[in-house]
Structure 1
Amino acid sequence: MRHDKAALVLDLARRMAASAEGVTLGEIERDLNVGRRTAERLRDAVISLFPQTEEVSDPPNKRWRIRGGLSAFEQAPTTAELIELAKAAQALKASGESGRAAALEGLERKLKSAMRSTTLNRLAPDLEALVRAETIAVQAGPRPSADEAVLAEIRQAVLAGRPLGFIYSRPGAEARSRSVAPCGVMFGRANYLVAADRESGRIQTFRLDRMSAVRSEEGTASPPPDFDLQGFASQSFGIYQDEIEDVVLKVAPEGADEARAWRWHPTQSVEDQSDGGVMVRFRASGMRELAWHLFTWGERVEIVAPERLKSVMADELAAAGRALDRARHPG
């Protein structure tokens, strides 16, 4: 076990208290990485220590939950948990996400205000030292935008199952009024609304910083019943969604170790080659973003498939060459 039994019991109690529907033995096995007999022993230990634990029938399973929460003593966060929360807020602020950073900073203040003063005084020196010793390296790239008012309207529409209306502006195109069924938001190098067209049902993405006059509209508009936001996000190499392709990349021996440790895509497979290199395979859309990423690998990566990725890479190289030529020969 990665923790001693007491820590696992307390961890499970927190999970039971944090879940409105309760947890099953299968979920205990999965989340705590233990076997069935250990999961049963941990459940029994929680029931013994917390008599308020309830058993809930959910055929074909049984669930266990703790209503009313746990005491401040049992819920006191650790130094590592508090520093990770502070770093997450710092990362959001550094990337321009001041609204989301403020939400995490507010949560941090609430946690600290609920802690006993003796516990907080004990943790404070370590927290201060780690805050000074750790920072976020800000990488070049677009500054994502997640205006609090825009996010609030999107969330309201999602929760109420109502249409979302807005004006969408794209470079080089006339601004258009849109009304969609919101499915969710993807946060990343840029932040996107994922929504279904109300007529065709086609799933589309809209950059939040290009949306204005965002409002929840009257009526009902829900995502397709089989839509899964995480599954949708996993289809693409980045954010842009287009045709899904079988991607095959041959990585030279000098880049093999890095390629094995790299997370290319959720569907990836990495095969060792006789020359010491590796072959990377996955299915994804977003060939342009993949081409941009492959620039960073230089000569260490050869595109085997698909042909469209080769074409996109050639187009991007040609565009970069033209820009460089203009810089060398201005006017």
Structure 2
Amino acid sequence: MRYARTSDLITLALRMQGSAEGLSLADIMGQFEVSRSTAERMRNALRDALPQIEERGEPGGEKRWRLPGRCLGGMTQPTAEDITTLHRARELAAREGDEATATGLEVLADRLQAAMPAPTRNRLAPDIAALLEADGVALRPGPRERIAPEILNTLRDAILAGVWVNVDHRARASGKLSRDVWLGPLAMLMGEGRQYLVAWSEYQDDVRLFALAGFARIELSDEVFERPEEFDLQAYLSRSFGIFQEELQEVVWRFTPEAAAEARQFLFHPTQQMEEEPDGSLTVRFRAGGLLEMCWHLFRWSDRVKVLAPEALREMYGEILERALTINSQREGSNQHA
């Protein structure tokens, strides 16, 4: 039985040509999320169409397949969608305050366009402009923190070089400025809203989060930082609903029948389980810390969600709602002399 999905075969051919060592069956299975038998059919179909494919053996018996350069001709030229994707990524990086990545993506897009034959470039230009206008990423409103580009650039250099940094950092919660702190940067958590550095703290002798907006000074050192072998970023992040690291809690939310359809489209947490209720409501269960961040998210659902567990989350959410109601019910100036 042949594999007939042309788009997947084209993508596989491009990846075989773009890989220095070639792709194994395990690589094909993982990248395309297919079974081993399907991966074998994809490889066989491509070998039938492109006999130039090279087979390479490795110690241990694993075989890999690679397509030599220039075999695909014009198929490797970027498309309007490819250029637009880079521009979209550039706008998203700029929105997050990551100007270094934004600039790099813009340069890459310009290089790809410059490498195109002039007739192709001229033909695609109107399509690229139309796709960018329709995308609207750059115009999307939303709050974000302003992070100095030199802070991000220095931290990126430290992560890539694997060295310690010496910093002055102001804690977000207390406002206290800690001077001459030694950190081993592991990763930057960028995105909408608050942004953080995941780093090893010499003082705490553990991994901690540091608000990127809190860095008052940062200097690279020449001393090598050895990343903890047992540290796994994804495992670290999966413990939390958002960023804050807390003790794991069994969380249960119930969305009203009116909100159920929308809630089904959300991945609230990697461990979540969803249960359909007889009345049309939806129960979501997951295990995570970060109760305050859960409260922030629950605000968006208004009266269409009920917190069933844990009790600490229900109490915290109620207290925040009460405080918000109190401060917004006061007239301006009524509490200035209290």
Partner of 2:239: 235
**Which letter does structure 1 place at the counterpart of 2:248?**
I
* Cα deviation, residue 68, structure 1: 5.8
Partner of 1:193: 197
Indicate whether 1:281 and 2:285 are aligned: yes
Indicate whether 1:11 and 2:11 are aligned: yes
Q: What are the superposed Cα offsets for residues 188-244 of structure 1, whole Å, 9 maximum, x if unpaired?
A: 123211012235542211122211322222333223212121222232222222222
Whole-Å separation in 2 of the counterparts to 1:115 and 1:188:
33
Partner of 1:245: 249
Aligned 1:145-224 pairs, distance under 5 A: 145=147, 147-171=148-172, 172-176=174-178, 177-189=180-192, 190-198=194-202, 200-224=204-228
Distance 1:120 1:224, change over 3 A: same
Whole-Å separation in 1 of the counterparts to 2:209 and 2:75:
43
Partner of 2:65: 64
* Cα deviation, residue 326, structure 1: 3.6
Whole-Å separation in 1 of the counterparts to 2:122 and 2:66:
32
Distance 1:320 1:279, change over 3 A: same
Whole-Å separation in 2 of the counterparts to 1:60 and 1:314:
61
Distance 1:115 1:21, change over 3 A: same
Distance 1:167 1:199, change over 3 A: closer
Match among 135, 140, 152 for residue 142 of structure 2 = 140
Distance 1:242 1:106, change over 3 A: same
Whole-Å separation in 2 of the counterparts to 1:141 and 1:56:
52
Q: What are the superposed Cα offsets for residues 273-306 of structure 1, whole Å, 9 maximum, x if unpaired?
A: 1221111001112111110111111121111111
Whole-Å separation in 1 of the counterparts to 2:5 and 2:100:
39
Whole-Å separation in 1 of the counterparts to 2:237 and 2:69:
36
**Which letter does structure 2 place at the counterpart of 1:170?**
A
Indicate whether 1:120 and 2:121 are aligned: yes
Partner of 1:23: 23
TM-score (norm 1): 0.87
Instruction: Decide whether the 8 Å contact of 1:18 with 1:69 is kept in 2.
Output: no
Aligned residues, how many? 328
Instruction: Decide whether the 8 Å contact of 2:170 with 2:177 is kept in 1.
Output: yes
Partner of 1:88: 89
Whole-Å separation in 2 of the counterparts to 1:91 and 1:220:
32
TM-score (norm 2): 0.85
Distance 1:211 1:71, change over 3 A: farther
Whole-Å separation in 2 of the counterparts to 1:186 and 1:58:
38
Tell me the SS of whatever aligns to 2:225: coil
* Cα deviation, residue 74, structure 1: 3.2
Q: What are the superposed Cα offsets for residues 99-157 of structure 1, whole Å, 9 maximum, x if unpaired?
A: 33222111110111111222222212211222223312534333352x44333322332
Whole-Å separation in 2 of the counterparts to 1:289 and 1:99:
28
- The more displaced of 234-243 and 130-139 is 130-139
Whole-Å separation in 2 of the counterparts to 1:69 and 1:207:
47
**Which letter does structure 1 place at the counterpart of 2:60?**
P
**What runs of 5+ residues in structure 1 fail to find an aligned partner?**
none
